[in-house]
Structure 1
Amino acid sequence: MPTSVPDLLRVVAAKHPETTAVTGDGREITYGELSARSDRVADVLARLPAGSRVGYVDRNATEYFELLFGAAKAGVVLVPLNFRLSRAELRWILADAEVSLVVAGAEHLDDLAGLAVPVIGVGPSYETWLEGGTALDPRREAAGDELLVLMYSSGTTGRPKGVHITAAGLAAAVELFGACFDVGPDSVSLVPIPYFHIAGAGWALITLARGGTLVQTREPTPFSMLDQLVGHRVTHTAMVPAVIQIMCELPAAKDADFSALRQIVYGASPISEPLLERAVALFGAEFFQSYGLTETIGVTTLLGPDQHRPDNPVAGRLRSAGKAVPGIEVAVADLVTGEFAETGVVGEVVTRGPSVTTGYWRNPEATEAAFLPGGWLRTGDAGSMDADGYLYLHDRLKDMIVSGGENVYPAEVESVLAGHPSVLECAVIGVPSDRWGETPLAVVVRRPGAPEATSQEVIAWLRERLAHFKCPTAVEFAAELPRNASGKILKRELRKPWWEGGTRQVG
């Protein structure tokens, strides 16, 4: 297995230059073409100082891989941004990362107008920029703990943090996680998850590293995914349970030919037994549940096909997040002492391994707080382990909400919501959602004497200032917020009525 990200492409392109690397939405490209075009990107980017940052703002597109491999070959850091972010959010991240240039889709050019660095639009401008380079690999690639990708993840302080994705870490993640699946040269993988997510980019790289064909989708809908699954004879795909449920409800899916489909990996929330039975009957494929973070490059635990059998003799195993991926260590730490907790005792889930981040971009305080002695990364999730090493998640210590696969940090939403003229104080929590696993809900104490804004007006106000997926889907008004003796808001008390009776307190 190649030990560097550029080698993932070099090896396959040398063996199978005419094989289709990426198809589906957008431009189709072979491995040979992808290698040559990424060389041109690398030649242009190598004129920047090593370690410079380059931003990417667009939906899934072939240009993403040209930039990823090109930046890797040139020793330059790619900064993929969530295209759903607001203008202000995009600009803040680009400024924090101190990017030297940005490649962006046409729909984002207005939001980036006036930046102090060049903005290259995907299309004719990008092709002209590409012509400035030669198809000569500069081989100035990052290695070891040098940065390769900077992925921004919303933080508990209200500002996003740049997560270090190192050269060695990403290569290790592709090898360790990829070895758990039967992806090979005959594989056709559909990746509906955006590439700015480590889950989307990682699954795509697993496919490309093994010479398979990646089916790209820019605006996934249940109908478009159905067409691609059938039309491209897809063998592997990644989905969230919310999408699996929608697919199971599509009348057209009942008669669709999924005979090529072999494996489905899902994450963000567990799958219910009734939905699993429907999904197995519909797709006839093996199911895997994965658990991980941007900080672990998506690799932590995996629940395999045996545990997804409806006749699985181990009761409740489907509610677990699986066992540690080979090569990765997972444990539960006591919330007070930091020592390893005993079997069945709830504590903080911690992990370490070659794919774990080295820290946060120019944020030594956050980096120090993220690790326990011995290099154990604190996930912020409360969990327990059974005697067989299966991990069970119980709650989120950091209050993060995962809605339809998107991470939403309440502190970020609250910091904006607090600026509404009718809001005295507020708290944002995750509540159950049949469609999204969980969804944000805001609890608001009205400001005395201010106009009484409605729930719909508050949400509309937020949607002008935040990415829509971060905004609450409902607002409840309260006379006061529950607090402990030191004045801290008790979000567990706010969540309790919504989650009471459930076996898991997160989506």
Structure 2
Amino acid sequence: MPPAPTPVADLLRLSASRAPDAVAVTGDGRAATYGELAERSDRVADALIAAGLEPGDRVGYVDRNATEYFELLFGAAKAGAVLVPLNFRLAPDEMRWILADAAVSLVVVGPEHAEVPVEEGVPVIVVGPAYEEWLAGARPRDPKRDAAGDELIVLMYSSGTTGRPKGVNVTASGLASGVALFGSCFDLGGRAGEAGGAVSMVPIPYYHIAGAGWALITIAEGGTLVQCREPTPASMLDQLIRHRVTHTAMVPAVIQVMAELPAARDADFSALRQIVYGASPITESLLARAVALFGAEFFQSYGLTETIGVTTLLGPDQHLPDNPVKGRLRSAGRAVPGMEVAILDLETDRPADPGVVGEVIVRGPCVTTGYWRNPAETAAAFLPGGWLRTGDAGSMDGDGYLYLHDRIKDMIVSGGENVYPAEVESALAGHPAVLETAVIGVPSERWGETPLAVVVPRPGQETTEEELLAWTRERLAHYKCPTAVSFVDALPRNPSGKVLKRELRRPWWEGNDRRIG
């Protein structure tokens, strides 16, 4: 069994006490040792308390991956406050709604987000001179007001199927359990400053549980975190080689592009030990090329924001090209130690037999306690016994391997970002030439899938694909916007009037046996 979870702030406290001069963060942004990170997070905690924040109060963060994120995360944890990391690519109206819903008491932002829309009276501290002055006026004292148990430590917003994001409660015990459970699955070697210590590259944004979780696992082990602020395949390749990275997480699309870079052919990847990927399965041909290039062990992971990390893992033994179990690479793996996964029959709500497609449900110590100030959504998400409905359709074989098939909630995963059609449909509905619309995910070689808007034009009104795409880009984060528009006379519906999105998707996905990341 994995080790017992450690209080979140203790992840930094312990690593800093063991090796204060070891490098905690390097790569893009400001480098920091464990001692520096501990001392500056102490100052953040003191500054938050001096600003009047009480345990449980929320602190917003808007920026790309930066060292300040960890200062704020651990500082808030030490002060008993709750960090609310926002997707920096959100449109202003989206940011405004989340910050208001979370009722943040203070926001720390990168320079490019200095005009972040906040409620009147909410202080905004911009990283740079203002942030440094804020820290300089605080004492390097750890108040040790840590949250515990089911008390919140992070509030992560996940786009909602009803058109508004939902705040996912990340508790102190849930986050610590996620770090302990997932971290136990990897060989992270010695601690920072020791021979064989882990050097982990994190290209995933920290506002994603995958990025934040992978970073915390590295810090818990006292490893060195190689930070990626604006990751591209070329920049990631440079970081891998320059810092002799031992562990990293990537999506298959990035692995594919990186493997095709001319600079990768003669690169030295001898330090690289393990690669975690997710969002979509990896093809056998790409796996063979990637193994030959990187020479590392591959893991596939599946999880949700609501599971506060990884639920299932497909290990290196199942990635062997000569695996006797045909099709095993299409599996998302088996439940990690401490987590339970089951399939619920879609018609009877009873456990499904092996091989039968149903809803994936999960249970474990790192599953969220619910949605922020949303008892109705919380009640709908949980079954008796603490089982969480994922909204994903899947099946399980006799050996306990999970296979994902489709998305019950219609969520689109584009380049690792979650896109909910209801948000896009709501934006399109405001255009005067749109009578009705349905947004679906269609295959994309680069992004896995991208949003397609199926539009019924309003009689007497004219519009073009270019006009509608520009309309959505003015109102939504660009990654949520459709990449194409298909005009139709009517949307297919069932007798009760519900749009049959499965019918809209079918022509695009014929021949694909997996329609979910």
Question: Normalised by the shorter chain, which TM-score bucket?
Answer: over 0.9
1:13 equivalent in structure 2: 16
Taking the aligned partners of 1:115 and 1:73, their CA distance within structure 2 comes to: 27
Shift of 1:336: 2.5
Q: Does 1:324 align with 2:324?
A: no
Taking the aligned partners of 1:111 and 1:103, their CA distance within structure 2 comes to: 10
Taking the aligned partners of 2:500 and 2:226, their CA distance within structure 1 comes to: 45
The answer on whether the counterparts of 2:275 and 2:297 sit within 8 Å (CA) in structure 1 is: yes
Taking the aligned partners of 1:57 and 1:44, their CA distance within structure 2 comes to: 18
Deviation track 1:64-94 (CA, whole Å, cap 9, x = no partner) reads 0000001011110000000000111111100
Q: Percent identity?
A: 77
Q: Normalised by the size of structure 1, how large is the TM-score?
A: 0.99
Instruction: Tell me the SS of whatever aligns to 1:360.
Output: coil
Instruction: Tell me the SS of whatever aligns to 1:381.
Output: strand
Larger CA deviation: 38-47 vs 321-330 = 38-47
1:42 equivalent in structure 2: 45
Deviation track 1:109-129 (CA, whole Å, cap 9, x = no partner) reads 124377430000001110111
2:129 equivalent in structure 1: 124
Instruction: Tell me the SS of whatever aligns to 2:362.
Output: strand
Deviation track 1:479-502 (CA, whole Å, cap 9, x = no partner) reads 000000000000000000011122
Taking the aligned partners of 2:199 and 2:441, their CA distance within structure 1 comes to: 35
2:182 equivalent in structure 1: 177
Identify which of 294, 299, 322 aligns with 2:305: 294
Deviation track 1:28-49 (CA, whole Å, cap 9, x = no partner) reads 1000110111111111223411
Query: What letter corresponds to residue 383 of structure 1 in structure 2?
Result: G
Q: Does 1:363 align with 2:363?
A: no
Instruction: Tell me the SS of whatever aligns to 2:90.
Output: coil
Query: What letter corresponds to residue 168 of structure 1 in structure 2?
Result: S
Alpha-carbon spacing, 1:126–1:336, altered in 2? closer, same or farther (3 Å): same
Instruction: Tell me the SS of whatever aligns to 1:84.
Output: coil
Shift of 1:217: 1.0
CA-based RMSD: 1.0
The answer on whether the counterparts of 1:402 and 1:437 sit within 8 Å (CA) in structure 2 is: yes
Taking the aligned partners of 1:264 and 1:413, their CA distance within structure 2 comes to: 33
Instruction: Tell me the SS of whatever aligns to 1:196.
Output: coil
Instruction: Tell me the SS of whatever aligns to 1:255.
Output: coil
2:290 equivalent in structure 1: 279
1:491 equivalent in structure 2: 501
Deviation track 1:1-48 (CA, whole Å, cap 9, x = no partner) reads 662001111111101000000001111100011011111111122341
1:107 equivalent in structure 2: 112
Taking the aligned partners of 1:298 and 1:499, their CA distance within structure 2 comes to: 28
Q: Does 1:96 align with 2:107?
A: no
Shift of 1:132: 2.4
The answer on whether the counterparts of 1:112 and 1:119 sit within 8 Å (CA) in structure 2 is: no
Taking the aligned partners of 2:119 and 2:401, their CA distance within structure 1 comes to: 51
Alignment of 1:336-375 (within 5 A): 336-375=347-386
Deviation track 1:440-471 (CA, whole Å, cap 9, x = no partner) reads 11100001111x22112111110010000000
Identify which of 164, 167, 186 aligns with 1:162: 167
The answer on whether the counterparts of 1:207 and 1:214 sit within 8 Å (CA) in structure 2 is: yes
1:386 equivalent in structure 2: 397
1:80 equivalent in structure 2: 85
Identify which of 51, 59, 63 aligns with 1:58: 63
Deviation track 1:309-333 (CA, whole Å, cap 9, x = no partner) reads 1111110000010000010000001
The answer on whether the counterparts of 1:85 and 1:466 sit within 8 Å (CA) in structure 2 is: yes
1:444 equivalent in structure 2: 455
- Structure 1: which 5+ residue stretches go unaligned? none
Deviation track 1:364-388 (CA, whole Å, cap 9, x = no partner) reads 0000000111110000000010000
The answer on whether the counterparts of 1:102 and 1:120 sit within 8 Å (CA) in structure 2 is: yes
The number of residue pairs the alignment matches comes to 506
The answer on whether the counterparts of 2:301 and 2:332 sit within 8 Å (CA) in structure 1 is: yes
1:209 equivalent in structure 2: 220
Taking the aligned partners of 1:197 and 1:143, their CA distance within structure 2 comes to: 22
Taking the aligned partners of 2:348 and 2:81, their CA distance within structure 1 comes to: 41
Instruction: Tell me the SS of whatever aligns to 1:279.
Output: helix
Taking the aligned partners of 1:152 and 1:59, their CA distance within structure 2 comes to: 16
1:134 equivalent in structure 2: 139
Query: What letter corresponds to residue 480 of structure 2 in structure 1?
Result: K
Identify which of 142, 150, 157 aligns with 1:152: 157
Alpha-carbon spacing, 1:388–1:114, altered in 2? closer, same or farther (3 Å): closer
Taking the aligned partners of 2:363 and 2:311, their CA distance within structure 1 comes to: 9
Q: Normalised by the size of structure 2, how large is the TM-score?
A: 0.97
Deviation track 1:381-438 (CA, whole Å, cap 9, x = no partner) reads 0001000000001110000000110000001111111111111000000111111111
Deviation track 1:148-177 (CA, whole Å, cap 9, x = no partner) reads 000000001000000000000000000000
The answer on whether the counterparts of 1:423 and 1:444 sit within 8 Å (CA) in structure 2 is: yes
